Chain A
Amino acid sequence: DVKVTQSSRYLVKRTGEKVFLECVQDMDHENMFWYRQDPGLGLRLIYFSYDVKMKEKGDIPEGYSVSREKKERFSLILESASTNQTSMYLCASSSSGQGWQTQYFGPGTRLLVL
């Protein structure tokens, strides 16, 4: 079974802090994604990566950056956390090998910025 893990389930940070959210997958997937989920807005794509050291902006990249130094790890960075970044963050991975991209999700990190 594919396993996607995220470093924290719950996180409380203060405005202005730098925040790192880590995601690790164990299935050698090429593609990794970061989403945030807010009530009434569904899943919104922040950043994604199709390979090591590659990154692409999603729909809402402002205020975020990412790092993919190793194939299995995709990090989301909030350079200076703000209260409007309080949200549920979901990481996902997928393989390009089968054509379509079924995504495998981590358990999510619920971030509260005070």
Chain B
Amino acid sequence: ILNVEQSPQSLHVQEGDSTNFTCSFPSSNFYALHWYRWETAKSPEALFVMTLNGDEKKKGQISATLNTKEGYSYLYIKGSQPEDSATYLCAFEVNRDDKIIFGKGTRLHILP
């Protein structure tokens, strides 16, 4: 059974601080790794998709890295703002045109 693990499950961070969290996935049959942000009362929205080992993506103050050999991805948020409060989901895509496996998410709370 393929499993995607995210840690921590929940995180409280002071506004202005930087933070990061982890997504672990099987290192075999890798096709792509996705990060989504899911704000309360909204739909999950795609942040990044990464396909190559060593990929790094950046969007504003949020960035992500990918290590397919060891099966992990980090999401970093620099200088957290209240609007960064959300659940961050990672999703592992197995082979092309196969289904996507979601992690349970990291729930991030930014404290004012």
Give A residues with C-beta under 8 Å from B: 4, 35, 40-43, 45, 48, 50, 56, 58, 90, 96, 99-108
Please state if B44 and A100 are interface contacts (CB–CB under 8 Å): no
* Chain A residue at minimum C-beta to C-beta distance from B4: A42
Please state if B97 and A50 are interface contacts (CB–CB under 8 Å): yes
29 cross-chain CB contacts under 8 A = A4-B43, A40-B104, A42-B102, A42-B104, A43-B89, A43-B102, A45-B99, A50-B97, A58-B99, A90-B44, A96-B97, A99-B32, A100-B32, A100-B93, A101-B97, A102-B34, A102-B46, A102-B49, A103-B34, A103-B44, A103-B46, A103-B100, A104-B46, A105-B43, A105-B45, A106-B43, A107-B42, A107-B43, A108-B43
Q: Using A42-B103, A50-B97, A101-B97 as known contacts, list a sample of 16 further A-B pairs with CB atoms less than 8 Å apart, ordered by residue number in A.
A: A41-B104, A42-B89, A42-B102, A43-B89, A43-B102, A90-B44, A99-B32, A100-B34, A101-B32, A102-B46, A103-B36, A105-B43, A105-B45, A107-B42, A107-B43, A108-B43
How many residues does chain B have at the interface if contact means C-beta atoms less than 8 Å apart? Answer: 22
Q: How far is the CA of A102 from the CA of B34 in the complex (A)?
A: 7
Cross-chain pair count, CB within 8 angstroms: 50
* Chain A residue at minimum C-beta to C-beta distance from B31: A100
Could you say which of B31, B44, B100, B103 contacts A105, with CB atoms under 8 Å apart?
B44
A13 to B: closest C-beta gap in Å:
22
In the complex, whether B59 has a CB less than 8 A from a CB of chain A is no
* B42 contact set on A, CB distance < 8 A: 107
In the complex, whether B81 has a CB less than 8 A from a CB of chain A is no
* A56 contact set on B, CB distance < 8 A: 99
* B104 contact set on A, CB distance < 8 A: 40-42
B7 to A: closest C-beta gap in Å:
13
